[in-house]
Structure 1
Amino acid sequence: MLVITYYWPPSGGAGVQRSLKFVKHLPALGVEPTVITVDPEKGAYPVLDHSLAAEIPAGVRVIRTDTSEPFGSYKKLTGRQQIPYGGFVGENKTSLTQRFFKFVRGNLFIPDARRGWNRHALRAVAELLAQGEQFDAVLTSSPPHSTQLIGLELKRRYGLRWLADLRDPWTDIYYHHELNQTPLARRLDARYERQVLENADIVLTTSTDTRRLFLEKSKALRPENFHVLPNGYDEADFQAPSAPPTDALLITHTGTISETYHVELWLSALAECRRRHPAVPLRLRFVGKVSEEVRRQVEANGLLDCTELVPFVPHDESVGYLRRATVLLMAIPDVPHNLGILPGKVFEYLAANKPVICIGPAGSDADRLLRECGAGQAFPYGAYEAMLEHLEGLVAQWRINPNLDLPTLGHARYSRRALTEQLVALVRGSDGAMG
């Protein structure tokens, strides 16, 4: 089986986890994967995590190729060393240079700025096939959604069974409007998306609502070809025992958080709970990228003295912070189509067996998952009273027993191995996925 993915160790962050964990478990399930990815010396990764390389099975062949991307010019012209997320979006576009790159990204690099990798990846596959190699299927993982065009071309040239694994929406992604695409560029982007969805043998999504969004793109689509295969957790990451603190009620958030996540009222509720219960040592910890606006909100609520800000850490360390928390905090960004946003970390939160506080829309896929597993619920962005009541309930429980760990939750079907078993069933042509 060919696995084609741009993000691969030493790339870090959430994007690399899904393909890596599939590949980790495929050999034990009788599938021999060959990975096609970019040479890390030539590619562009927002973050690095060298610890993930240890999870690649020793016998797995990884072919790293050259690429042709605009990020070198971007660094030279802007003086920035960090690659922007989402291909030049989500930044403060104040300078003429930034506005220029934003326009170029949206209108000349369609569907995204990493499309320059495609011809190199296609050449690598062609060389393998010319040598007599045979593959039962090819899986293309995105974003970057330009990777799906590799699968489209392989399907056209060789008729390979193709699984298009789309971790996020495409033209419905929340930042898509920031690209300032011309009508022509929008039509081309939508056409690429439609061609991928119509030609893939199997389309995998990570949430029910994202599946719904894709099925609305064309009347020619067959719902039975679209499967929800969510992200998950790796049991091997959670072998160490839980170790919540005994001297504080510690609430931990891991990953990126910005003002679009709208946690300001929750922070106000936490501050009020702290005022009402001064004898209970409430602590807050953010592990990962925290925007300046969220830092300002922490300060405005008088929480700086009880808040710890930890910068990005390797994945194994991030899991350690989950084990050492009392309660876990997550938030869904307040953006269009957020009912289907189901962060990969929510499954690791479940595996940690901690109570989970989710700030986001009620009735979302994340809300349903937390309720289904008995781990918590989502609190809408404006539900101050409900947030405060919930925090006070946690304080009351903590007074009785500072270990708030939950019984083993009903999350076994979200283990990476169980999800890879479903992937294998689809590769072999049987219907094994959820949704």
Structure 2
Amino acid sequence: MKVLFITHQFPPLNIGGSHRPFKFVKHLHRSGITPVVITPEPAAHRGAALDKEVAGLDGHAVIIRTAVDPPTWMDRIRGSYYLNTLDPEGRRWRRHLLAAAEQAARDHDLKAVIISIPPFSTGALGVEVARHLKLPLLVDLRDAWSLWLITPYVSRLHFLWRKAHERRVLRAADAITVTSPQTIADLQALHPMVPAERFHLVTNGYDQPPPVVPDGIQLPPATPQRPFTIGYVGSFYYTPYQRDLMFKPWWRKKPWQWPQYAPRREDWRYRSPWAFFSALQELRRRRPDLYDLLHVEFVGDVPGWLTDMVKEHGLEGKVKLHGRVDHDASIRFQASCDALLITSSKVVGGRDYSIAGKTFEYVAQVKPMLAFVCEGAQRDLLARTGLSIDCPPDDPATAAERIIELLEGRCVLRPDRAFILDLHIERIAARFARIVQRIALP
């Protein structure tokens, strides 16, 4: 069975959003599905990080790469503060995508359309293609949409417009796959007219070989001969300026910011290493001997606020920032660490919905995870693995005690072998395939 798989983000584009569609495309053939992928050519991703060319497909997919219109002066106008309602990628890609989809339908016996989003503007393109080809549509929603709130909306009208756009796409879908249970709950509350049975949980997964999962994990104490390394991989999706806009009262903002609106407040400083750094300060105060045996290393982009945060906590000689590396180097780095740091954002008065993609690569390492996470989907999944060490983000003293237990060799973990193996991408892709098969034309 062949399906049309539309994704704006796909290797060699090296960003978090390209991994999930690539992994599905790589493994769907095991369920008898051949994806016909339409994606922009690498040159369309101007200034973006590009990794090595696609590997591992072995003829199990058809890849069609299209051009994308260059930015225009109208894009700059639409991207201005008050007119910025939706990203421009869909508009710039539309005519090339529609032409490629029509040709793909002539060349292949397609049974369904899959659209992987974000960019959120491409959601409407998936609806348009599916209707034009008279095929069922599966929307794979990799992130929350209207309720993804790193910073406030320009106004309540901007939120309502995006919510309406989201609703049109979800109502047009025959199936909607989402990456966390909390995201499903949020979407159902926001769009009760979309039938609940259309929503399906399909988390991300790891693509490394299935790991050997021991009955228990207890690392030896750190020593001068064997120091202890805590590592972190990835981006934080946080800036102090955006957080300031979220929490500053309107009368302290600039006049053009007064109409800003957030349907709920999310604190993305919790996604940063701020709470972890506070725990390191407490560790240094209480146990300088153990602090000296600890190495902390980060791999990923190094924004200015991160170096400032390191300095503000007095950790210049403790935290090493390596910068961005390719995916293979990232996996090797994770394997070299003794424990891995994971964080999450905080939904004020609610539950966090995001499960970071790196979580699943961490799980495949079967290493202790220092979980500076808030109530929500990330914490729930980590707890089920049996690999997490719960470090309350708002309690640096307790978090420091957890680190002390780990460095002294007193921390014992009981991994859940069945659950960890169930997160392998082959099993995740098989679940995704069953949903595709359920809606596909006979």
Q: Does 1:248 align with 2:261?
A: no
- In 1, are the aligned partners of 2:374 and 2:392 still within 8 Å (CA)? yes
The alignment yields a C-alpha RMSD, in angstroms, of 3.1
Q: Which residue of 2 aligns with 1:419?
A: 428
Aligned letter for 1:128? A
Deviation at 1:197, TM superposition (A): 0.8
- In 1, are the aligned partners of 2:206 and 2:423 still within 8 Å (CA)? yes
- In 2, are the aligned partners of 1:20 and 1:55 still within 8 Å (CA)? no
Deviation at 1:142, TM superposition (A): 0.7
> Residue 63 of structure 2 aligns to a residue in which SS?
strand
**Counterpart mapping for 1:125-140 below 5 A:** 125-129=101-105, 131=106, 133-140=108-115
Shift of the 73–252 alpha-carbon distance from structure 1 to 2, 3 Å rule, reads farther
- In 2, are the aligned partners of 1:33 and 1:60 still within 8 Å (CA)? yes
- In 1, are the aligned partners of 2:368 and 2:389 still within 8 Å (CA)? no
- In 1, are the aligned partners of 2:211 and 2:366 still within 8 Å (CA)? no
Q: Does 1:347 align with 2:360?
A: yes
Instruction: Return 5+ residue gaps in structure 1 as ranges.
Output: 78-96
2: CA distance, partners of 1:223 / 1:340: 18
Deviation at 1:155, TM superposition (A): 2.9
2: CA distance, partners of 1:231 / 1:393: 31
2: CA distance, partners of 1:282 / 1:72: 52
Deviation at 1:262, TM superposition (A): 4.6
2: CA distance, partners of 1:238 / 1:12: 25
**Counterpart mapping for 1:228-243 below 5 A:** 228-236=201-209
**Counterpart mapping for 1:177-196 below 5 A:** 177-178=152-153, 180=154, 183=157, 185-196=158-169
Instruction: Return 5+ residue gaps in structure 2 as ranges.
Output: 213-218, 240-268
Q: Which residue of 1 aligns with 2:145?
A: 170
**Counterpart mapping for 1:71-86 below 5 A:** none
Deviation at 1:102, TM superposition (A): 4.3
2:9 aligned residue (7, 10, 21):
7
Aligned letter for 2:81? F
> Residue 166 of structure 2 aligns to a residue in which SS?
helix
Deviation at 1:255, TM superposition (A): 0.4
2: CA distance, partners of 1:430 / 1:153: 17
User: C-alpha offsets along residues 265-307 of structure 1, whole Å, 9 cap, x if unaligned?
Assistant: 4213213324514155101001001332332232233322222
Deviates more, 1:366-375 or 1:379-388: 379-388
> Residue 62 of structure 1 aligns to a residue in which SS?
strand
- In 1, are the aligned partners of 2:389 and 2:402 still within 8 Å (CA)? no
2: CA distance, partners of 1:328 / 1:269: 15
Q: Which residue of 2 aligns with 1:89?
A: none
Q: Which residue of 2 aligns with 1:91?
A: none
Shift of the 182–301 alpha-carbon distance from structure 1 to 2, 3 Å rule, reads closer
Q: Which residue of 2 aligns with 1:153?
A: 128
Aligned letter for 1:426? I
- In 2, are the aligned partners of 1:234 and 1:415 still within 8 Å (CA)? yes
Deviates more, 1:328-337 or 1:280-289: 328-337
Deviation at 1:115, TM superposition (A): 3.0
Q: Which residue of 1 aligns with 2:98?
A: 122
2: CA distance, partners of 1:72 / 1:249: 53
1: CA distance, partners of 2:404 / 2:160: 51
2:191 aligned residue (183, 207, 218):
218
Deviation at 1:166, TM superposition (A): 0.5
1: CA distance, partners of 2:112 / 2:94: 18
Q: Does 1:19 align with 2:21?
A: yes
Q: Does 1:53 align with 2:28?
A: no
Deviates more, 1:143-152 or 1:55-64: 55-64
Shift of the 113–158 alpha-carbon distance from structure 1 to 2, 3 Å rule, reads closer
- In 2, are the aligned partners of 1:39 and 1:64 still within 8 Å (CA)? yes
> Residue 297 of structure 2 aligns to a residue in which SS?
strand
Identity over aligned pairs, percent: 27
- In 2, are the aligned partners of 1:289 and 1:311 still within 8 Å (CA)? yes
Shift of the 335–216 alpha-carbon distance from structure 1 to 2, 3 Å rule, reads closer
2: CA distance, partners of 1:272 / 1:102: 44
- In 1, are the aligned partners of 2:230 and 2:337 still within 8 Å (CA)? yes
Deviation at 1:396, TM superposition (A): 1.2
> Residue 136 of structure 1 aligns to a residue in which SS?
strand
**Counterpart mapping for 1:17-416 below 5 A:** 17-44=19-46, 46-50=48-52, 53-70=54-71, 101-103=79-81, 106-107=84-85, 110=86, 112-129=88-105, 131=106, 133-175=108-150, 177-178=152-153, 180=154, 183=157, 185-236=158-209, 247-257=226-236, 258=238, 260=269, 261-275=271-285, 276-278=287-289, 281-334=293-346, 339-362=352-375, 364-397=376-409, 409=417, 410-416=419-425
Shift of the 152–114 alpha-carbon distance from structure 1 to 2, 3 Å rule, reads closer
